[in-house]
Structure 1
Amino acid sequence: MTDLFQTDPPAAGAMPPSGPDAPLADKLRPRTLGDVVGQDHLTGAEGAIGRMVAAGRLTSMILWGPPGTGKTSIARLLADSVGMRFAAISAVFSGVADLKKAFAEAEKAQAAGQRTLLFVDEIHRFNRAQQDGFLPFVERGTVTLVGATTENPSFALNAALLSRAQVLVLERLDEAALGALIDRAEELAGPLPLDADARVALIASADGDGRFLLNQAETLYAAKIDAPLDTDGLRKFLQRRLAVYDKDRDGHYNLISALHKSLRGSDPQAALYFMARMLTAGEEPLYVLRRLVRFASEDIGLADPQALIQCLAAKDAYEFLGSPEGELAIVQACLYCATAPKSNAAYKAQKAAWKSARETGSLAPPQTILNAPTKLMKDLGYGKDYAYDHDAEDGFSGADYWPDGMEPQTYYKPVPRGFERQVIERLEWWDKKRRERQG
């Protein structure tokens, strides 16, 4: 398992020196936390990582973010910053034997007075039993766990493990951060064979992924191109569709903002124009589709539940037909969203519910609605006096489903437009019956 299980990197700089044949991304790995780009909200003096390093003490943490944003680099540099021993495993290739070895070596180091930072890449790939295996070693301080994941920790990791680790969110690298990576590449390897517009297009094509950007740059260096490529030449060379951006580099974000707001403003003509601007410039159709799917939930919601279905059907149609035939399905989804009734009630409900869940996340549901698959749970009162709605008058029991000690909340407030008009009528009827049956 070469490079799968790593311990004790060189003391200086936390990163082993790169050989002449190492990939460009490896040669440009940051040597200090200050070299990490795009994550100042974490690594800066006021960030969570910056404060921990300044105090000389780390807590276990989960680094959650898109690919190519620096999770592995940060983990390596953290150990060196506070003088800890570094060990790393990958959940993609590791099993129980690798975990046992890691914990055994950490215990030996602890007995010798040395703390261990255990970095687990793709930690969400471990199953629940394997994740539970970390708990005693984290609790005893045998290891300080730093897990990296691209998946939402709320769904991918055990609640018990999450309660013992701080979740830190890494942001996709913005244009400035990606530009800084290209600057470093050019300092090391010389100017890229690109004109100014092609350089901007290359950065935009990375979609926030620093590793991808540097791999593309390395491909350009290896080709030994004589004359600088323009945007069209870069597109043909990399065999990728690259969006065209205006001189001030705001074109991509301006156009997607214009599309979104035109849809929200129910102007199908303007929405179609801005979408055409993006697609004819070479924007990835799937990127546009992702934005339409998001719009269908954020700005239409249950005012027209078909909007989300239309957008997902357009995605399937495009993937089935490809360009240019499949782009008509994207047009159809765009027009449907622009002409649909609008509501952001679901979006607002999500934000309110998430806030409430963070504030009251330890409250248990009422025992009446808990399943009781064992005799012990039945004896403890689980499921006792549960009101089965289908047996109740009108198919509605009016029971109280909120945790003890928490007042019922109203997160979802439908608007009197589209299908949500009917939803309002249902909710008002249920509320009336609930008041009657709860006295």
Structure 2
Amino acid sequence: MTDLFASEIPTKDADTGGGPLADRLRPTNLGEVVGQDHLTGPDGAIGRMVTAGKLASMILWGPPGTGKTTIARLLADAVGLRFESISAVFSGVADLKRVFAGAKDAARLGQRTLLFVDEIHRFNRAQQDGFLPYVEDGTITLVGATTENPSFELNAALLSRAQVLVLHRLDAAALEELLRRAEQVEDRAIPLTTDARTALIASADGDGRFLLNQAETLFSVNIADPLDPAALSALLHRRMPIYDKDREGHYNLISALHKSLRGSDPQAALYYLARMLVAGEEPLYVLRRLVRFASEDVGLADPQALIQCLAAKDAYDFLGSPEGELAIVQACLYLATAPKSNAAYQAQKAAWRSAKDTGSLMPPMNIVNAPTKLMKTLGYGKGYAYDPDTVDGFSGANYWPDGLSAQEYYTPSPRGFEAKIAERIAHWDRLRSEREQ
């Protein structure tokens, strides 16, 4: 899907003067919006509401530069609502009271209000609760905009009263269309070679507003010959990827890295590793996740996996960035190409459940410690068989408490080193069975 900014059609009376290019390309009605058809098309949520002439409260969730503010303004025009706008960054309780009072006054005159709240996730929980009575009694139709996952950032009570509509980031085709329309407004071609044009689109990282600002800079300077990618890079600063270390993008990427490793795709794993580190993620955080993966998803199928990860951590501590990042890459590739087993992870969960269920059962007397004569007299440690001194180095003794039968928490996978472990366990099980006969 393309995006709002990628689909804004210059109107016939658009101002070609001193206004920002992004503002001059804003559509004047929902019919001019192309690319968010999953929302604004005839079968989309917004399209259906506009056709019915009845607008529900909603949360517009999408990356920066996807036209959330523009859609809110056009919605108000489309259904004849009074438009009010505030930003959660700059507004407080007094501002909200003023807006609500104005909406009540307008309602008495028969005019309903669409309240657009930009960055709504920045309001605290109590402030978010303040919207509820006015949404419920119809004083306002709330349209909130957020770049963050509403599931984490907004109150459940507020979410239950509003639809969450997801705006898509711009793809390359949408950004190309946006550049074409900018050229139409400016009545000239953007001074770039084909490769540089592609590089400019890639640098926007899906943000139409950023792309238009960069294009405006290129239009404003005197460029004799079209710029190639190197010249473009020298003139413009590349946009940093969207990546907040405590936000959804962070968790999406670490999840993608983990699942790519689990799926034994070293190429994809390396891509997501690069995405995180290039965006500024703390390398030691990534290493902690790799260490966890080595135990959880590789385990004893390849005992070297954990060693490789810890060695990568030591190498990074020793070398720092950027040299030490190669050790992280090595650990990542090792994990991706290692045999996979979660048998140790499953064994841990099963053993922990059993420990909680069985409370404080006493181990059998033959394997408890007997540091005093009294304890020896009471039978502590009596009958203990020292396995290295027995035939086969295996006594087959019972190690389970009275009242708890022998359990099987750990079942080795048939992959990697665990196949050998399975053979050993099977061998000991045969010996134990023979000695019990």
Show CA shifts across 1:12-47 (max 9, x none). Answer: x99x97683322112212222233343221111111
Match for 1:336 among 334, 337, 357? Answer: 334
Question: What is the deviation of 1:303?
Answer: 1.0
Secondary structure of 2:128's aligned partner: helix
What is the alpha-carbon distance in structure 2 between the residues aligned to residue 88 and residue 107 of structure 1? 15
Q: TM-score, normalised by structure 1?
A: 0.61
The yes-or-no answer on 1:39 pairing with 2:36 is yes
Q: Which range is displaced more, 148-157 or 225-234?
A: 225-234
Q: Which residue of 1 aligns with 2:224?
A: 226
What is the alpha-carbon distance in structure 1 between the residues aligned to residue 28 and residue 64 of structure 2? 19
Question: What is the deviation of 1:392?
Answer: 4.8
What is the alpha-carbon distance in structure 2 between the residues aligned to residue 395 and residue 224 of structure 1? 81
Question: What is the deviation of 1:132?
Answer: 0.6
Q: Which amino acid in 1 is paired with 2:199?
A: A
Q: Which residue of 2 aligns with 1:210?
A: 208
Q: Which residue of 1 aligns with 2:60?
A: 63
Secondary structure of 1:87's aligned partner: strand
The yes-or-no answer on 1:182 pairing with 2:179 is yes
What is the alpha-carbon distance in structure 2 between the residues aligned to residue 212 and residue 395 of structure 1? 63
1:257-406 superposed matches below 5 A: 266=264, 286=278, 302-304=296-298, 325=323, 327-329=325-327, 331-342=329-340, 392-394=357-359
What is the alpha-carbon distance in structure 2 between the residues aligned to residue 300 and residue 81 of structure 1? 55
Going from structure 1 to structure 2, the CA distance change for 1:341 and 1:172 (only over 3 Å counts) comes to farther
The yes-or-no answer on 1:164 pairing with 2:135 is no
The yes-or-no answer on 1:123 pairing with 2:89 is no
Which runs of 5 or more structure 2 residues have no equivalent in the other structure?
Answer: 1-9, 242-256, 300-304, 344-352, 362-410, 419-437
What is the alpha-carbon distance in structure 2 between the residues aligned to residue 284 and residue 187 of structure 1? 37
Contact 1:300 1:342 in 2 (8 A): no
Going from structure 1 to structure 2, the CA distance change for 1:239 and 1:143 (only over 3 Å counts) comes to closer
How many aligned positions are there? 319
Show CA shifts across 1:200-224 (max 9, x none). Answer: 1111111111111111111212222
Show CA shifts across 1:48-70 (max 9, x none). Answer: 01111111110000001111111
Going from structure 1 to structure 2, the CA distance change for 1:103 and 1:261 (only over 3 Å counts) comes to closer
Q: Which residue of 2 aligns with 1:114?
A: 111
Show CA shifts across 1:122-164 (max 9, x none). Answer: 0000011111110000000000000000111111011111100
Going from structure 1 to structure 2, the CA distance change for 1:107 and 1:235 (only over 3 Å counts) comes to same
Q: Which residue of 1 aligns with 2:390?
A: none
Secondary structure of 2:19's aligned partner: coil
What is the alpha-carbon distance in structure 2 between the residues aligned to residue 124 and residue 241 of structure 1? 24
Secondary structure of 1:22's aligned partner: coil
Q: TM-score, normalised by structure 2?
A: 0.61
Show CA shifts across 1:242-282 (max 9, x none). Answer: 99xxxxxxxxxxxxxxx9999677475x779x96xx98xxx
Secondary structure of 2:83's aligned partner: strand
Q: Which amino acid in 1 is paired with 2:208?
A: G
Going from structure 1 to structure 2, the CA distance change for 1:393 and 1:264 (only over 3 Å counts) comes to closer
Q: Which residue of 1 aligns with 2:142?
A: 145
Q: Which amino acid in 2 is paired with 1:87?
A: E
Q: Which range is displaced more, 159-168 or 226-235?
A: 226-235
Going from structure 1 to structure 2, the CA distance change for 1:67 and 1:271 (only over 3 Å counts) comes to closer
Going from structure 1 to structure 2, the CA distance change for 1:183 and 1:134 (only over 3 Å counts) comes to same
Q: Which amino acid in 2 is paired with 1:225?
A: I
Q: Percent identity?
A: 62
Contact 2:240 2:279 in 1 (8 A): no
What is the alpha-carbon distance in structure 2 between the residues aligned to residue 271 and residue 130 of structure 1? 42
What is the alpha-carbon distance in structure 2 between the residues aligned to residue 158 and residue 52 of structure 1? 24
RMSD: 4.6
Contact 2:204 2:239 in 1 (8 A): no
1:238-253 superposed matches below 5 A: 238-240=236-238
Question: What is the deviation of 1:322?
Answer: 5.4
Question: What is the deviation of 1:181?
Answer: 1.1
Q: Which residue of 1 aligns with 2:6?
A: none
Question: What is the deviation of 1:188?
Answer: 1.1
What is the alpha-carbon distance in structure 1 between the residues aligned to residue 206 and residue 181 of structure 2? 17
Q: Which residue of 1 aligns with 2:195?
A: 197
What is the alpha-carbon distance in structure 2 between the residues aligned to residue 172 and residue 415 of structure 1? 44
Contact 2:261 2:336 in 1 (8 A): yes
Secondary structure of 2:143's aligned partner: strand
Secondary structure of 1:58's aligned partner: coil
